[in-house]
Amino acid sequence: MRQTNLKIAEQLAQVKYKETTIMAGEVFFSGYPLPNDMTSDVKYLNSRYALWQSEHLSYAGVYGYRGIGNVQEKVAKIEIIKDITVLEMPLNFHPASCFFEWKLQGNRYDVSYSNPRNDMSWDKEVTQPDHHIDKHFYEIISHLGFDRRISGFIRRSLDEDEYTTGSIYEFALMDRSAAKILSTANLPSTVDDFWMLIESQKQIGKSLESALFK
């Protein structure tokens, strides 16, 4: 994996990430499919290579529907409890894009997901490229001269996205000591029901959070 992780680091250096601070007290949400044979939400969330979060509950919630088999669709409300430094990816770039052919076109990175690079492959113990990034994050950034003072990475919304420009819509946190799970909630049984709930809350002028976290 060392050569693959080195190639990822080399590409990250090309796209010009930057360091940024997430402040204590900021709140995020994480959607996840909880296996029915696991009784602890905290135990499950801590079993992941990264604690994936979003500033936007509507975006985070959709990820609760990505489970297979016998699961309960859930969402957690999470508070950052200390100031941390993370890497901010430029524009729409995701570190997992490094496994594919990509190029900068205007104000976006065009990633050809149908053209994976043939000179590197992701860790076969994980199912997809972004999980490779989560699992090997600290080795990857070590090739960029960073140590564990970097707690994860973020991506921000662009002008054409549906969320507020510049808001954090993806946040992969590796440092679990920086986060406190405030509460968890069950999501509606289907993703269609979830979208209907979002719309109904908009119509009555209430937040999605007030409907889920009661």
Residues 6 and 144: their CA atoms lie apart, in Å, by 9
Instruction: Please report the pLDDT score of residue 197 as a whole number.
Output: 97
User: What 8-state DSSP symbol labels residue 149?
Assistant: T
Place of tokens 């969320």: 163
Q: Are strands 150-156 and 84-88 parallel, antiparallel or unpaired?
A: parallel
How large is the C-alpha radius of gyration of the chain? 18
**CB-neighbour burial class of residue 89 (10 A; exposed 0-12, middle 13-18, buried 19+):** buried
Strands (DSSP E) found in 117-204: 150-156, 168-173, 179-186
Instruction: Please report the pLDDT score of residue 148 as a whole number.
Output: 82
Give the residue numbers spanning the domain of 93.
2-212
Instruction: Please report the pLDDT score of residue 210 as a whole number.
Output: 96
Instruction: Please report the pLDDT score of residue 18 as a whole number.
Output: 94
**At residue 43, what is the residue type?**
K
Chain centroid to CA 10 = 22
Q: Which long-range contacts (CB under 8 A, 24 or more apart) does 132-136 make?
A: 132/4, 132/96, 132/99, 133/8, 133/95, 133/96, 133/172, 134/48, 134/49, 134/50, 134/52, 134/172, 134/174, 135/49, 136/1, 136/5, 136/8
Instruction: Please report the pLDDT score of residue 163 as a whole number.
Output: 85
Strand partners, 185: 75
Query: Hey, what are 192's tokens?
Result: 């269609």
Q: Which long-range contacts (CB under 8 A, 24 or more apart) does 202-206 make?
A: none
Q: Are strands 100-105 and 84-88 parallel, antiparallel or unpaired?
A: unpaired
Per-residue pLDDT of the chain (214 residues; tens, 9 = 90+): 889 999 999 999 999 899 999 999 999 999 999 998 777 999 999 999 999 999 999 999 999 999 888 789 999 999 999 999 999 999 999 999 999 999 999 889 999 999 899 888 888 888 889 999 999 999 999 999 998 889 999 999 987 677 888 999 999 999 999 999 999 999 999 999 999 999 999 999 999 999 999 8
Instruction: Please report the pLDDT score of residue 133 as a whole number.
Output: 96
Give the chain's end-to-end CA distance (angstroms, integer). Answer: 45
In the chain, how many domains are there? Answer: 1
Kindly report the pTM of this predicted structure. Answer: 0.93
Instruction: Please report the pLDDT score of residue 160 as a whole number.
Output: 67
